[in-house]
Structure 1
Amino acid sequence: MRDVTAAIVAFNQDRQARFLPNKYTLMASSPFRFYRGSCHLFYQDLVGAQTWQDPTRAWICGDLHVENFGTYRGRNRLVYFDLNDFDEAALAPVTWEISRFISSVYLLGHQLNINTAELTLIAFSLMESYLQAIHMGKAFVLEREHSSGILKTLMHAANTTNNKAFYQARIAPNSKRQPTLLTNDKKYFAIKPTAFKHALIAAFEQHLNQYADDLGQFKVYDVVIRVAGTGSVGLKRYMFLVYHHQQQQLLFFDIKQAKPSSLKPYLSLPQPTWTSEAERIHTIQHDCAYMLPAWYSDFQFQGDDYIVKETQPEESKMNFALCQGKPKKLWRACHDMVRLMAYAQLRSSARGLTNSSDELQAFANDHAAWQMHLIDYSQQYYHQVLQDYQHFCHDVPSLIDNLNSNTTKSRKK
């Protein structure tokens, strides 16, 4: 049997060690959070256990689970709900994306006290929704006016969000002349040394103004280290406080380090030659999304690649606590997501090395050859994750102690 903890440690060896205790603590908080933080394990297992044939080629998000959807404002300032994390994006078979998503539904349902039999019915119904969307052959967008259930609640909240509270929670008090960002040594950390911080501010300000309509439109006031998500914890990540002269308002920008996709070791399909990992993420999300988040771009600094986007008060995710013990509500929420997955595949079809929409439809028409295998695997993998989670939780205390000890020794040196 493979050593789950050793595989996780090996994967994270190039991440920032000071933040790995945070990541491992989050992963130990629930089986679903463990799944979110171990995307590499999913594909390591899938390539050795896939029981169906899938010759398709599509741009996939790579880490598609129910928490990788959310609301955001596009550059046109309208609010959208869509796939929102393409760090692991690659050219891969469509069923890899479907299986990872369905497995996440099982794990979320387990957390919501929904039994396996009901979750399997949801899985079959979601498959039907996906196939119907592919058969339509047209990529739509989910509109607030036609949404329902908890998605409707979410999109309404995104359009009526309290901007003042959003800013107050991130800007230090008594810093009106030159506003600065709050640090709390939990999610936001001060940057040292000062010379690095000043160089980062100067480079990012230059980057933003290259994309502005008029030069000098942006002024960067401050930057802090940001820790967010689960799988991305340990990557270099920063939040900037920026003044937009034309709009006469403060904006927040998030930049996250772009690393090779965790699918890379397991892909047999030839991949495009990218100039950087940020270009890979940016290009695939551009092809899959109906609308990119505002000010989306890629940025390079001191040898590292980053994905840039505005951090907005409208950003939010579904409140799955409302589905506690309610399989129908969970189905309705995930039904919208699985349609968006299909739309992303259709929207990006026949781009580069991907299949055409006709070829995707032909594969969907042959679903009897693979659908049952995929759902069986997703259910079995859900149980595998529960076992892996228990092994990992057993090892976490000593793992974190070792990390903290090594960090202390490094500081003393």
Structure 2
Amino acid sequence: MTTPSAGARPHPSVADRAESGRQAAARVPLDGLGEVGDGADRDPVGLLLGQAADRVPELVPIRHGRMARTPFTFYRGAALVMADDLSRTPNSGLQVQLCGDAHLSNFGLYATPERQLTFDVNDFDETYPGPFEWDVKRLAASLVVAAVANGATPKAGKEIARACAQEYRETMAALAGMGTLTAWYSHAMPTEGLEQVGALLDRTTAKTVRRTIRKAWGRDSLQALGKLTVVEDGQLRFVDQPPLIVPIESLLGDSAAGFYDELRVRYGDFRSTMAPHHQVLLDRFHIVAMARKVVGVGSVGTQAWVLLLEGKDSGDPLILQAKEAQRSVLAAYLEGPEYENEGERVVLGQRLIQAVSDVFLGWNGGAGVDGKHRDFYLRQLRDAKGSFAIELFDTPALTVYGRMCARVLAFGHGRSGDAVAISAYLGETDMFDKAIRRFASRYCKVNAADHAEFVAAIERGTVTAIAEY
């Protein structure tokens, strides 16, 4: 009989892992996950205004305007507010690599390196280690907020959240029973479930859903080239549509040439963080142009850039996005690692959570155009990326879509955490499902009140917002 060498990490048995899950349930019963926490000293508007301090000043009002549109767009931008709220509630202590902002619009389609279309989490700006249920709660509450916005009754929204939690629990149980490699490789292909959504909608909307899946393949660098660039003096340049797209030449004037020289050095630093065989691929392209591009809701105001690269010629483009990575909103509330570069945090978290990730993922840090140090991560802007028009989904469709999101979320948590322990914690009854249903329903009301307070602050002039973007 052999014994572990000195310093070797103990390898717990399946029974030990399951027991750790049961012990967590004894410390924090499932019913406790339904609590929303004490909100006596909450300040959602203050938290959001605090985030503006380190963002591009002229873009912050656009962020506020987008958040003010509906309770759902507010929810999308209020990851920090929810992190603060979750920190006031009991948690299981069962750690995974959290997405950190797992609302239903942060899931979508993209192409794998094997050129297959897959469905997974696709936003990792807030990724950080933490208790698994924080992601589940963020997803389930987003479903209720979206359902109510789409005209569903609160009761119907609660049932959508319950189905989401049930799918997560059942998927985690399935992962716990799989071999290690089988569980690791688990992922979702859109034809395995998302097309079911189409069968639950009216004929016109069903066609739109199926078209989204088919058209995802057309969303690539060549398609982006036609939408985002123009030819000036015989050279390709990004369009100038301020404030949403602004070429570096318009931002810096005569200083742009010097910035391109610096960019090429930084580009090499990005390259060094990629796998060696992907570096070979990247070396076949060279930088042609750069522009600042506003993206999303919660990310608006952080520095986000698009880079136009050419391969063989101008008809062989690659468009990359260099997106600023700030400290995760979760880091203030959870004990976890400190990162020398927040871009590295995003990339490592994405690689761990997703079944397959973008081959051009990389990170770098340095002075931004404003002279301040900024961390960035690099990825393709479009590679068969597709998202679904959530506002078109009725209750049956949201139920199916929510279950699909819960399934891939469980896949990601199973890679980074202990599926056996989590499954043992969740148990075989519907207690977890009911607790998450209760939390999501309650938090929908909290979010609606926060949105109303935010809109009122805009009307008073406390918050500056631009509505038209």
Identify the TM-score tier after normalising by the shorter chain: 0.7 to 0.9
Select the structure of larger CA radius of gyration. 2
1:158 is the counterpart of 2:216: yes
2:192 is aligned to: 146
Amino acid at match of 2:290: V
Deviations 1:290-325 (A, max 9, x none): 1112411112232321111011162221122331xx
Deviations 1:177-197 (A, max 9, x none): 421111200420133322463
CA distance in 2, matches of 1:380, 1:306: 36
Q: CA deviation at 1:80?
A: 2.1
- The 5-angstrom pairing of residues 21-36 of structure 1 reads 21-36=61-76
Moved more, 201-210 or 220-229: 201-210
Moved more, 157-166 or 65-74: 157-166
CA distance in 2, matches of 1:152, 1:171: 29
Which of the residues 316, 323, 335 maps onto 1:249?
316
2:363 is aligned to: 298
Which of the residues 338, 341, 344 maps onto 1:276?
341
Moved more, 312-321 or 15-24: 312-321
Which of the residues 362, 370, 378 maps onto 1:308?
378
CA contact 1:242–1:251 (8 Å) conserved in 2: yes
Which of the residues 397, 405, 420 maps onto 1:337?
405
CA contact 1:134–1:360 (8 Å) conserved in 2: yes
Q: CA deviation at 1:357?
A: 2.2
CA distance in 1, matches of 2:438, 2:463: 38
Q: CA deviation at 1:396?
A: 1.4
1:87 is the counterpart of 2:125: yes
Amino acid at match of 2:124: F
CA contact 1:217–1:246 (8 Å) conserved in 2: no
CA contact 2:56–2:303 (8 Å) conserved in 1: yes
Amino acid at match of 1:184: Q
Amino acid at match of 2:187: V
TM-score scaled by length of structure 2: 0.77
- The 5-angstrom pairing of residues 2-401 of structure 1 reads 2-48=42-88, 50=89, 52-137=90-175, 138-139=183-184, 140-147=186-193, 148=195, 149-150=197-198, 153-160=211-218, 165-174=223-232, 177-191=234-248, 192-193=251-252, 194-195=255-256, 197-207=259-269, 210=272, 211-213=278-280, 216-245=283-312, 249-267=316-334, 270-302=335-367, 303-312=373-382, 314-323=384-393, 326-349=394-417, 356-365=418-427, 370-399=432-461
Q: Secondary structure at the match of 1:180?
A: strand
**CA, structure 1 residues 294+182, in 2 after alignment: closer, same or farther (shift >3 Å)?**
farther
Q: Secondary structure at the match of 1:12?
A: helix
Amino acid at match of 1:171: T
CA distance in 2, matches of 1:13, 1:40: 14
CA contact 2:66–2:73 (8 Å) conserved in 1: yes
CA distance in 2, matches of 1:371, 1:214: 46
Deviations 1:130-178 (A, max 9, x none): 1110011135211244232256543222135587653211111455x42
**CA, structure 1 residues 92+30, in 2 after alignment: closer, same or farther (shift >3 Å)?**
same
1:411 is aligned to: none
Q: CA deviation at 1:65?
A: 0.2
CA contact 1:200–1:301 (8 Å) conserved in 2: no
Amino acid at match of 1:169: K
- Size of the alignment, in residue pairs? 391
Deviations 1:344-375 (A, max 9, x none): 011223xxxxxx22212211217666543332
% of aligned pairs identical?
19
**CA, structure 1 residues 81+369, in 2 after alignment: closer, same or farther (shift >3 Å)?**
closer
**CA, structure 1 residues 313+359, in 2 after alignment: closer, same or farther (shift >3 Å)?**
closer
RMSD: 2.5
TM-score scaled by length of structure 1: 0.87
Gaps of 5+ in 2: 1-39, 176-182, 199-208, 273-277, 368-372
CA distance in 1, matches of 2:124, 2:415: 15
**CA, structure 1 residues 187+200, in 2 after alignment: closer, same or farther (shift >3 Å)?**
farther
**CA, structure 1 residues 403+322, in 2 after alignment: closer, same or farther (shift >3 Å)?**
closer
CA distance in 1, matches of 2:396, 2:402: 10
